[in-house]
Amino acid sequence: MKTCFNHPDQEALSKCHGCGNEYCESCLDEGIEYYYCKNSECQALLKKELPEYAVPESVICPNCNIELDLSEDERRVGKFRCSECDAVIDYTVSPPKIIEDTNYTEILSSLNQGDIALIKSILEDEDIDYVIYGENFLGIRPLLEPARILVNTDQVEEAKNILKDFDLNIFGVSANQDD
């Protein structure tokens, strides 16, 4: 029998797709197609194979207890608005918490999904805390309402400055919500 590279007394389950060594079950992590061992280089490959989602496909809204199906973008960001009760939920923390609307300021809205995807990637690169309302890429409902992008109020100026460089003609929707 083939034995584990780390445990000579254990039967090997599979090869690591990264380094090619044989390992036992406890030494392997399962990807979508392949197994990977615990070496950092092989773990990096595993990470690439697995989509990085912050939250599962469907979650329970902590506010109204309805089950929500999330889009891939919502899952990756982990923050979204409940379509039933309109609460904004942060699922990246445990337990999930309901975000106060007042912590976020709308910086733009757009019907253009290409714009939205670009803006999201920019905000993510710059570590801007943001949420998106009205976005629905699941195809159940067409995108009739513009998606609105809100950023953490503390980071509004920063976000605007970053996005300015990208020459997107998108500001002014409700950037001045004075109270």
Q: Which residues bind Zn ion (CB under 5 A)?
A: 4, 6-7, 16, 18-19, 24, 27, 37, 39, 42, 61, 63-64, 82, 84-85
**Residue closer to Zn ion (CB basis): 64 or 117:** 64
The interaxial angle of helices 113-125 and 156-164, nearest 10 deg, is 120
Going by the DSSP 8-state scheme, the letter that residue 104 receives in this structure is E
Closest to 106 (Cα-Cα) out of 172, 151, 166, 158: 151
Provide, for the chain, the percentages of residues in helix, strand and coil under a 3-state DSSP scheme, each rounded to the nearest 5.
25, 25, 50
Q: Is the peptide bond before 95 cis (omega within 30 degrees of 0)?
A: yes
In whole angstroms, the minimum distance from the beta carbon of 178 to Zn ion comes to: 29
**Residue closer to Zn ion (CB basis): 57 or 84:** 84
What are the phi and psi torsion angles at 141 (to 5°)?
-115, 135
In whole angstroms, the minimum distance from the beta carbon of 31 to Zn ion comes to: 12
**Residue closer to Zn ion (CB basis): 92 or 174:** 92
**Residue closer to Zn ion (CB basis): 60 or 143:** 60
In whole angstroms, the minimum distance from the beta carbon of 35 to Zn ion comes to: 9
Q: Residue 113 corresponds to which tokens in the numbers above?
A: 């999904």
In whole angstroms, the minimum distance from the beta carbon of 87 to Zn ion comes to: 5
